[in-house]
Every structure is written in structure tokens, then in C-alpha cells.
A = this chain, B = another copy of it.
Amino acid sequence: MQTLIIIDQQEGIDHPKLGARNNPDAERVMLKLLAKWRKQGWPVVHVIHRSTEPDSVFWPHEAGFMLKAAFQPVGDETLLEKSVPCAFTNNRLAETLTQLGSDELIIVGVATNNSIEATARTGGNLGYKVWVVADACFTFAKHDYFGTPRSADEVHAISLANLDGEYATVINSDAIETTNAKVATQ
């Protein structure tokens, strides 16, 4: 059983202070996958970030904390909070997956090099079979440690390369078969 894990689709992710992003179509791809999972009755876990820092775009006392309307859970979908990038830390994600009988994770959301990468690394380390959907994730431009500006695409591409084959399998959404939950491995 493959669980779709959608990370940090909260209003604050659109705050201009986060800078230039990539994959402008990522939300549409996420929603396409979400619709598929719902149609099939497969498990969905929504993870949101409850920041402990007042200047975060996910500070819970401001509107940025709110889940975007299109990403509200329905039915028996699970909603979990995290307060650090890794979605397995200090919540019931692992217990939820056990209850669902699911040890295969399809991870989508934001940001590729932060909560996506942290969650996929931990998932892989813990022994889950993890897929990260490249076109259903996005991130932001930043400077590297030596001060060189890096585009969001560069940050995204190196993050996915860190994950692929080591902690997870990175795929595009079109590699997810239309008839069942089994991701086509490459």
C-alpha cells in the first residue's frame, strides 16, 4: 500500500520573502495525484508545519499557517503537524503508517531541499520504500555556502540527486501508472 504524503501546502509558502521558486506547475501535479488517490481510496497523509519561530511563514498565529483551500483533508485522510523539517519527528507519522499497513511512501510538496529532502532521507533510513515525485515538488533560489547564487532549479536538482538511489527513487508524475498504486520503478 502506497501512501501519498503531501507536505506543507500552507498559505505561507507563497510569501514573497521566500524568493524565486521553480516548478510553477507543481501544485497542479500534486492535486492530480491527490485526486487519483482519492478516487482509488488509497491513503493520504497531509503534513503541515507549525513553526516555533515568529518570523516563519508558518507561524501558527498568522494566516500563513492555514492549509490552502485546495489541499484540505477530506474523509478519513490524516492530518499531522511537524515543527521541524522532518515529517517523522515528534508526531505520529510512523504509527499512522503502521496502522495503514503502508511501508511505501509517495512524497510531494515543498521545499525539495528542506522538508521533502529531510522526510525522504528519514523515510529511507527507517526502511520505508520512498518515492519523491520531482515535478510535484518545488523549492526556492538561495546562495550556496560559498556565496554563489543558485537558482531554484539548481537547488532542486542537487537535492533530488542526493536522494535518488540512496534514500528514495525520484520519479516524474507520469511514471505513476494510471491503473493502480504501484509506482513503476525504473
Q: How far is the CB of A33 from chain B (nearest CB, A)?
A: 19
A112-171 interface with B by 8 A CB criterion: 113-114, 117-118, 121-122, 124-126, 134, 142-146, 148, 150, 153-162, 164, 166-167, 170
* Cβ contacts under 8 Å, A156 to chain B: 145
Q: Is A43 an interface residue (CB 8 A)?
A: no
Copies in the complex: 2
| Beta-carbon nearest neighbor of A124 in chain B | B84
- Decide yes or no whether A85 CB sits under 8 A from chain B: yes
Residues of B within 8 A of A150 (CB): 158, 161
| Bound-complex Cα distance A153 to B170 (A) | 23
Q: Does A57 contact B (CB under 8 A)?
A: no
Chain A contact-residue range equals: 35 or more
User: A144, B160: Cβ atoms under 8 Å?
Assistant: yes
A158 to B149, CA, bound (A): 10
A145 lies within 8 A of B134 (CB): yes
